Structure 1
Amino acid sequence: MEKEKVSSGNIIDWSVLRRLMKFVMPYKGRFILVVLLTFLLGVLTPTRPFLIQYTIDHDVAAGDYGAMVNMMWLLLGLLVINSIAQYVHTYVSGWLGQQVIRDIRARLYQHIISLRLRFFDKTPIGRLVTRSISDVETLSDVFSEGLAAMVGDLLQILFILAFMFWSNWRLSLLSLSTIPLLLLSTYVFKEKIKVAFNDVRNAVANLNTFVQEHITGMNIVQIFGSEKREFEKFKQINEEHKQSNLRSVLYYSVYYPVAEIIAASGIGLLIWYGAKGIMDQQQSSITVGELIAFIMYIQMFFRPIRMIADRYNTLQMGIVSSSRIMNLLDDQEHVQKNGSFKPHHIHGNVDFDNVWFAYNEENYVLKNVSLHMAAGETIALVGATGAGKSSVVNLLNRFYEINKGSIKVDGVDIKDYDLGHLRKNIGVVLQDVFLFSDTILNNITLGNADVTEAMVWHAADLVGARKFIERLPGKLSYNVMERGATLSVGQRQLISFIRAMVYDPKILVLDEATSSVDSETEEMIQQAIVKMMHGRTSIVIAHRLSTIQKANKIIVLDHGEIKESGTHESLLAHNGHYAQLHRMQYKEFI
């Protein structure tokens, strides 16, 4: 299984951060509060050792009990302030992060649903799911554990260094003598853990892909008795996932003890030198308060440095995820352009004028197609698989944009129509019916509050589906489960009929609408189709030629070109492509 490539990126990609800041700006007040609290916490942390040093060297040495009590209250007050500031900082930064993540995810999903189908033909669904969920979730870590935390750690380090060198530069240099070793170990750990994290990410993706595919195709696995073989494959992928995680655990288990040893060595040097200086009072200006303060400084100093590697990887992965999200948002080539024309009434005249279309910009699937459909007329499209029949439907609905020519509805180019208004007036019934894991009502209305239950029942009566719906537990409230698994193929098709008719479209498209149903259901649906077509411009695509014999005009497509057009009788008399298709189909019944 091919591994997903994860770019390392730079620790800070300013162009990506500037894009992220646009999502932060609506919450500018909270963001400024987080910045101020980060600065405040950076100052408060090293203040406590400094005050303890002063108390020991002045108040304790002088035996001033009252001053010691006052200093105790001051330290307690600072601790309370620090705790409150830490609480507010953690909550507000988390709140800000979740607000931004919500906005980015909503913006991303809004962008995805505005893309043309051409984009989805070339982009794996799993990649879009990863962008919408995993990559956006990674961004939340940038706000809660990445950028803000790293800035806070760096500020804390700078203020600690300032207090240390102000107090005693000799002790500071000695205390920091082990820092190069810590930085070296941190760098090695950072590089190792980065690779380990990428391996874990790939292992999780492979595991998710395998499980999703095989649960979806479980019937194939069981039909061919492949359970044991597929389980062995799963165990191998699961083992790779375990090993990837163990490698990251190994690096952590090595790094933290090494960092502790280095930090302890620094403290040991400090105590040795400081104690020696205190005992040799005539040759040293080191005080007991300074020694205690510096021990506290070093402990405070090493903690954020040990966390830098984790912060770095969190920030880096967040930047990579941000870059992926921004690249998707920047894809304007596939965004459907929306017109503004919204006529009060559409009659249903449709014209294709010299239309050329290719899915991949090279191989045309429609070549110079011209056809006219008058309002209320029924047109049938026939031809072999791949002739271009479904492409006509896709273009009329503007699922794809044509390369050359024009398509007009009531004399107006479909590009000038408001897209939602145009599609609302074109009812489409496809061969492959997709139903969501929801109630029948919601699968028909798709959440549109303007569609009432009365409208749904009226459409159900029109297509003859009321009886089977009323027999279901809960009727319209019956949950059809994932992809309509609890319904038969015919029942799913009937629901798609209701979904198309509930908006009372002026143009009706039936794309192989009866090819997947049994003869009894087909007969019922054919009766419904006659009612549905009445007063509407209808485009029928069907392999079963018996279903289109009454069409006003039959158009024969072959390799994207119109070869013949006419009525059923005239085309049979012509003895051309249509007659050949007719003979081939009915030979099966001879």
Structure 2
Amino acid sequence: MSSPTSQAPGERPTPSRGPGPAGAGAGRGPAAFMGGMPTEKSLDFRGSSRRLLRMMRPERTLVLLTLALAVGGVTLSVLGPRILGHATDLIFSGVVSRQIPAGETKAEAVERLRQQGDGTQADMLESMDVVPGHGIDFGQVGNVLLIVLAIYIGASLLGLMQGRLTTAVVQRPMFRMREQAQSKLARLPLSYFDGQPRGEVLSRVTNDIDNLSQTLQQTLSQIVTSLLTIIGVLGMMIFISPLLAGIALVTVPLSVVVVSMIGKRARPQFVKQWGTTGRLNGHIEEMYTGHSLVKVFGRQDQAAATFKEHNESLYDSSFRAQFISGTIQPAMMFIGNLNYVLVAVVGALRVASGTLSLGEVQAFIQYSRQFSQPLTQVASMANLLQSGMASAERVFALLDAREQEPDPAEPERPAEVRGRVEFRDVSFRYTPDTPLIEDLSLTVEPGQTVAIVGPTGAGKTTLVNLLMRFYDVTGGRITLDGTDISAMTREELRSKTGMVLQDAWLFGGTIAENIAYGASGASRERLVEAAKATHVDHFVRTLPDGYETVLDDEGANVSAGEKQLITIARAFLAEPAILILDEATSSVDTRTEVLIQRAMKSLREGRTSFVIAHRLSTIRDADLILVMESGRIVEQGTHSGLLEAGGAYARLYAAQFAQALAEVE
């Protein structure tokens, strides 16, 4: 069946989008009734983070294993500098030992230095493990270096395994999120899509989920590792020298303040960035979908101007977001360098006084760098997290959007679907304060063909949308063979209905697949019969690949009339109990239309048909013609009877159909 979102102009409020510059239709359609596009809310970082964590709950076993690997890898990484410092002590002790005469003991050397008035060197020598006259023990140094090498190799392997598991921890929830988004789109009412540009919806399902996935992939493992590194390194720093650890920690509060201030300014810019991205994508999607009309009406300059406006807005918000968040890392590096200078100076004094060994100070300086590095990394990831959470909030807004009313728990179905349709005191309005249809009653007997005509905005397409339950009635009821359609499942109701709309919808696939879309499992013989009955077979056989000709999603390799014929063949093959034709022959020439009408006549036999049309050849043979104005049926009868009455139908005939009749006859 054709796309349910298509409609004749003016049949119901339409969203302000199309092949002209964005905003050209502002103030019209459901979007206008709902106050336009929703404004971007401030980023709920905590709420979005908690929700993401809940989504990762099924992977808790992998998360625990990832944490265990992270703990193991960080532990090995933290032990490396301490052991490497021991190698430095061995080398330094060997150098000092060589400078002491072989016959002199360590105590004698210390006493000699004190007598020479060099107390600092005496204190340092006294704290060292030296053997006078001996040089560097390269064997012991080599053993220490091999241990360090093994430790770092082990840490790297654990990090590699951690990264592999982190990929699974991140991608599985993203897989489920995409599934949820796809399922959500199927449950959203038509009014949601009427109020949202298609590019905006696509941006949330594609760009925002991709951005969130990349953010989690880049930050999740690194944050865990960085936090564990901070804890482990801090423990080693306190163990080596509480004084130096206290000096290193002086800069931590300053770092927290800097990150907090910068993050607070960057957060709204990221929200604005992704909101602007959605609007830009919506505009681009519209322009490329309607590029022919843009050129025909000479709106390239206006379209380009609108693109430039959106692009500049995106550039501005992206530049601000990235620049503001990008200042975090240089600020943290500056604070880290201050910390490095303080530790180096005080550490040198402690070595000179003999309180610490040179290897301990070297290890501590490494630890101080290791301590500041994860702080810098965490701060640098703040901009990624802000961007990711902004995208997460937009996706969650889609997932939380109000859905259509669920199908009844115990659905009803007609005992036999014959096609008797009854509208009983039906009322409908898109918004509470704007009535469209009021107290409409209508009975259509099985097999009847009902034509619905009227001026633009009369409610013709809205009527069939109510029958299809694309929208639910505000008041009254619609029954199918005595069963209230609201008591039926939508799938059951729509399986009995075939629909061909003015906007022919084809998907990327072969012509055969497009025809068989509404009747899966249909044999090739039935498919070809439907194609012949709707005059598709003739032009298909002129194509090099025949029924296996692949169409793109826009159907650009067939004409507009041929696209319409394919959609009619699709409805023919489905053999529905109720047939809805909404300007179904608007894209074909008069001769082809006459042929299609003959096919449609056989198609409509035994089926209830609703035909919305402006062209005379579509409705002259209808059993009943309804004339609608302002949501009400003002006249009903046959073609000849309504012409004789000289009322609203006669006026429409004189205004719209006289020329069409002359062409056909």
Structure 2-normalised TM-score?
0.79
Alpha-carbon distance between aligned partners in 2 of 1:232 and 1:574, rounded to the nearest angstrom:
52
**Partner of residue 123, structure 2:** none
- Matched to 2:571, the amino acid is A
Q: Deviations over 1:514-573 (max 9, x none)?
A: 233221111111111111111211111221234323222222222111222222333334
Of the three residues 46, 54, 63, the one matched with 1:12 is: 46
Alpha-carbon distance between aligned partners in 1 of 2:413 and 2:563, rounded to the nearest angstrom:
32
Alpha-carbon distance between aligned partners in 2 of 1:67 and 1:344, rounded to the nearest angstrom:
93
Alignment check: 8 A CA contact 1:12 1:316 kept: no
Of the three residues 461, 473, 495, the one matched with 1:424 is: 495
Within the alignment, does 1:483 sit opposite 2:557 as a pair? no
Q: Secondary structure at the match of 1:359?
A: strand
Alpha-carbon deviation of 1:399? 0.6
Of the three residues 409, 412, 426, the one matched with 2:480 is: 409
Alpha-carbon distance between aligned partners in 2 of 1:55 and 1:44, rounded to the nearest angstrom:
17
Rate the CA distance shift 1:99–1:404 in 2: closer, same or farther, 3 A: same
**Partner of residue 473, structure 1:** 544
- Matched to 1:319, the amino acid is M
Of the three residues 304, 314, 318, the one matched with 2:388 is: 318
Rate the CA distance shift 1:46–1:6 in 2: closer, same or farther, 3 A: farther
Name which of structure 1's ranges 563-572 and 206-215 shifts more when overlaid on structure 2. 206-215
Name which of structure 1's ranges 438-447 and 90-99 shifts more when overlaid on structure 2. 438-447
Of the three residues 538, 559, 580, the one matched with 2:630 is: 559
Of the three residues 486, 507, 510, the one matched with 1:436 is: 507
Within the alignment, does 1:31 sit opposite 2:63 as a pair? yes
Rate the CA distance shift 1:476–1:362 in 2: closer, same or farther, 3 A: farther
Alpha-carbon distance between aligned partners in 2 of 1:413 and 1:492, rounded to the nearest angstrom:
35
Mapping of 1:159-558 within 5 angstroms? 159-191=232-264, 193-194=266-267, 197=270, 200-201=273-274, 204-205=277-278, 207-223=280-296, 256-281=329-354, 285-337=355-407, 340-341=411-412, 346-446=417-517, 449-558=520-629
Rate the CA distance shift 1:109–1:202 in 2: closer, same or farther, 3 A: closer
Q: Percent identity?
A: 31
Rate the CA distance shift 1:94–1:385 in 2: closer, same or farther, 3 A: same
Within the alignment, does 1:74 sit opposite 2:147 as a pair? yes
Within the alignment, does 1:112 sit opposite 2:185 as a pair? yes
- Matched to 1:545, the amino acid is L
Rate the CA distance shift 1:564–1:202 in 2: closer, same or farther, 3 A: closer
- Matched to 2:549, the amino acid is Y
**Partner of residue 85, structure 1:** 158
Alpha-carbon deviation of 1:258? 4.6
Alignment check: 8 A CA contact 1:146 1:312 kept: no
- Matched to 2:591, the amino acid is E
Name which of structure 1's ranges 68-77 and 376-385 shifts more when overlaid on structure 2. 68-77
Of the three residues 132, 136, 142, the one matched with 2:205 is: 132
Rate the CA distance shift 1:189–1:364 in 2: closer, same or farther, 3 A: closer
Alpha-carbon deviation of 1:229? 6.9
Alpha-carbon deviation of 1:150? 2.2
Alignment check: 8 A CA contact 1:554 1:567 kept: yes
Alpha-carbon distance between aligned partners in 2 of 1:227 and 1:403, rounded to the nearest angstrom:
42
- Matched to 1:328, the amino acid is L
Alignment check: 8 A CA contact 1:116 1:336 kept: no
Alignment check: 8 A CA contact 1:115 1:336 kept: no
**Partner of residue 218, structure 2:** 145
Name which of structure 1's ranges 120-129 and 68-77 shifts more when overlaid on structure 2. 68-77
Output the aligned Cα RMSD.
3.2
Q: Secondary structure at the match of 1:569?
A: helix
Q: Secondary structure at the match of 1:294?
A: helix
Alpha-carbon deviation of 1:429? 0.9
Alpha-carbon distance between aligned partners in 2 of 1:258 and 1:408, rounded to the nearest angstrom:
69
**Partner of residue 121, structure 1:** 194
Rate the CA distance shift 1:447–1:503 in 2: closer, same or farther, 3 A: closer
Alpha-carbon deviation of 1:312? 2.0
- Matched to 1:47, the amino acid is L
Alignment check: 8 A CA contact 1:441 1:477 kept: yes
Alignment check: 8 A CA contact 1:267 1:295 kept: yes
Alpha-carbon distance between aligned partners in 2 of 1:46 and 1:79, rounded to the nearest angstrom:
10
Whose Rg is larger? 2
Name which of structure 1's ranges 410-419 and 232-241 shifts more when overlaid on structure 2. 232-241
Alpha-carbon distance between aligned partners in 2 of 1:246 and 1:263, rounded to the nearest angstrom:
26
Alignment check: 8 A CA contact 1:94 1:143 kept: no
Q: Secondary structure at the match of 2:610?
A: strand
**Partner of residue 228, structure 2:** 155
- Matched to 1:508, the amino acid is L
Rate the CA distance shift 1:262–1:362 in 2: closer, same or farther, 3 A: closer
Alpha-carbon deviation of 1:117? 0.8
Alignment check: 8 A CA contact 1:136 1:321 kept: yes
Alignment check: 8 A CA contact 1:4 1:202 kept: no
Q: Secondary structure at the match of 1:365?
A: strand
Alpha-carbon deviation of 1:165? 1.0
Q: Deviations over 1:315-364 (max 9, x none)?
A: 23333333332333233443553664466862222121111111223323
Alignment check: 8 A CA contact 2:270 2:387 kept: no
Alignment check: 8 A CA contact 1:460 1:466 kept: yes
Name which of structure 1's ranges 423-432 and 35-44 shifts more when overlaid on structure 2. 35-44
Rate the CA distance shift 1:477–1:242 in 2: closer, same or farther, 3 A: same
- Matched to 1:138, the amino acid is N
Rate the CA distance shift 1:464–1:249 in 2: closer, same or farther, 3 A: closer
Q: Secondary structure at the match of 2:574?
A: coil
Alignment check: 8 A CA contact 2:543 2:549 kept: yes
Alignment check: 8 A CA contact 2:162 2:221 kept: no
Q: Secondary structure at the match of 2:392?
A: helix
Alpha-carbon distance between aligned partners in 1 of 2:522 and 2:255, rounded to the nearest angstrom:
66
Alpha-carbon distance between aligned partners in 2 of 1:393 and 1:236, rounded to the nearest angstrom:
39
Q: Deviations over 1:140-168 (max 9, x none)?
A: 13431234432332222122111111221
Alpha-carbon deviation of 1:476? 2.0
Alpha-carbon distance between aligned partners in 1 of 2:276 and 2:636, rounded to the nearest angstrom:
56
Alpha-carbon distance between aligned partners in 2 of 1:36 and 1:360, rounded to the nearest angstrom:
56
- Matched to 1:364, the amino acid is P
Alpha-carbon deviation of 1:497? 0.4
Question: Mind listing any 5+ residue stretches in structure 2 that lack a counterpart?
Answer: 1-21, 24-36, 94-128, 131-135
Alpha-carbon deviation of 1:496? 1.0
Q: Secondary structure at the match of 1:110?
A: helix
Rate the CA distance shift 1:80–1:135 in 2: closer, same or farther, 3 A: same
Alpha-carbon deviation of 1:506? 1.2
Q: Secondary structure at the match of 1:483?
A: coil
Alpha-carbon deviation of 1:76? 2.6
Aligned length: 585
Structure 1-normalised TM-score?
0.89
Alignment check: 8 A CA contact 1:384 1:558 kept: yes
